[in-house]
């Protein structure tokens, strides 16, 4: 048992389950203790369960669907933009554009919404493009790093097979790194999902999980807020699990 406290120690499946179970029990115990008494840090489990019931009766499933649809539209656009500029960054004249897009990740949310509000009148479209800007900047950064990490031997091998420059781009960078692209999208998807609640507050009439949290916070309903945080975390982890499962299913020999 003492091996679980040693760095780089390989442990069995049963030991791993015991460790996970112990941490879950510790977190639940801390939650129960911190929610006792008149002044408490967190709402009680009963308040959270009541929050779940209230949220479900108010159409929680519909709001989750609205958030997922917003997220999906933003992801599709961001992935297309990022892949387009990243793959073409192998052309010297396009590379500065890709690098500039990567540097835009330092822009604050206020600045982005200010300029987008000038260009876009529809609030729902504005929500999509705020998420697109956020994800495409981080996604481009990760994809550029992916390309720069490709060994020179792979390019040399493709050239030795009489591949032209565009064929090298297709075979080595595009086809040869599809599994890495899926992994990069999976990692950067967390940024979109994290920003979703903030972005949805731009247009509360469209609904979504952001609207529910903003509404719950307005009335200081902490039970509902914690319930929503659990829902958001659960949905985000589910998306992450599905993408990781698909990557492993379609690319079984991936080294990631």
Residues 190-222: pLDDT tens digits?
888 888 877 877 666 566 777 787 777 776 777
Tokens of 192: 């979109």
pLDDT given at position 219: 67
pLDDT given at position 144: 93
Report the predicted TM-score, pTM, of the whole model to 2 decimal places.
0.81
Judge whether 73 and 160 are in contact, CB under 8 Å: no
29 Cβ neighbours under 8 A, 6+ residues apart: none
Residue 135 has pLDDT above 80, yes or no: yes
State mean pLDDT over 210-238.
81
pLDDT given at position 145: 92
pLDDT given at position 16: 85
pLDDT given at position 147: 92
Q: What is the band of 84 on the pLDDT scale with cuts at 50, 70, 90?
A: very high
Q: Kind and range of the H or E element at 116?
A: helix 109-119
Residue 41 has pLDDT above 80, yes or no: no
- Domain boundaries defined on the chain: 45-250
- The answer to whether domain 45-250 has CATH 1.10.3720.10 is yes
The larger pLDDT score, comparing residue 130 to residue 111, is at 130
Q: Nearest CA to 205 among 55, 57, 61, 63?
A: 63
pLDDT given at position 108: 75
Percentage of the chain lying above the pLDDT 90 cut: 18
Q: How far is 40 from 149, CA to CA, in rounded Å?
A: 50
The larger pLDDT score, comparing residue 33 to residue 167, is at 167
Residue 40 has pLDDT above 80, yes or no: no
Residue 44 has pLDDT above 90, yes or no: no
Percentage of the chain lying above the pLDDT 70 cut: 92
108 by Cβ neighbours in 10 Å (0-12 / 13-18 / 19+) ranks as exposed
State mean pLDDT over 146-171.
89
pLDDT given at position 208: 77
Q: How far is 222 from 44, CA to CA, in rounded Å?
A: 9
Tokens of 194: 């994290």
Find the radius of gyration of the CA atoms of the chain.
Answer: 23
Handedness of CA 113, 190, 242, 98 (dihedral sign): positive
135-166 CB burial, b ≥16 within 10 A, e <16: bbbbbbbbbbebbeeeeeeebeebeeeebeee
pLDDT given at position 205: 59
206 by Cβ neighbours in 10 Å (0-12 / 13-18 / 19+) ranks as middle
Q: Kind and range of the H or E element at 203?
A: none
Residue 236 has pLDDT above 80, yes or no: yes
Q: What is the band of 6 on the pLDDT scale with cuts at 50, 70, 90?
A: confident
Residue 47 has pLDDT above 70, yes or no: yes
Q: How far is 28 from 30, CA to CA, in rounded Å?
A: 5
């Amino acid at each position: 048992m003492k091996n679980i406290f040693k760095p780089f120690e390989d442990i069995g499946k049963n030991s791993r389950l015991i460790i996970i179970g112990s941490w879950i029990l510790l977190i639940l115990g801390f939650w129960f203790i911190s929610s006792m008494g008149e002044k408490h840090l967190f709402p009680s489990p009963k308040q959270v369960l009541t929050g779940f019931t209230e949220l479900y009766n108010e159409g929680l499933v519909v709001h989750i669907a609205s958030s997922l649809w917003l997220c999906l539209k933003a992801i599709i656009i961001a992935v297309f933009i990022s892949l387009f500029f990243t793959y073409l960054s192998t052309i010297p004249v396009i590379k500065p554009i890709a690098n500039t897009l990567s540097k835009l990740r330092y822009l604050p949310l206020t600045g982005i919404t200010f300029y987008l509000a000038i260009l876009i009148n529809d609030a729902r479209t504005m929500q999509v493009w705020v998420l697109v800007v956020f994800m495409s900047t981080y996604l481009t950064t990760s994809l550029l790093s992916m390309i720069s990490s490709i060994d020179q031997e792979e390019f040399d091998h493709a050239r030795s097979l009489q591949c032209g420059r565009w064929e090298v781009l297709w075979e080595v960078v595009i086809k040869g790194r599809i599994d890495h692209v899926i992994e990069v999208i999976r990692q950067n998807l967390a940024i979109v999902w994290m920003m979703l609640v903030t972005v949805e507050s731009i247009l509360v009439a469209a609904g979504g999980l952001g609207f529910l949290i903003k509404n719950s916070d307005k009335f200081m309903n902490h039970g509902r807020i914690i319930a929503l945080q659990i829902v958001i975390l659960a949905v985000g982890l589910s998306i992450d699990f599905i993408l990781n499962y698909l990557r492993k299913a379609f690319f079984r020999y991936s080294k990631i």
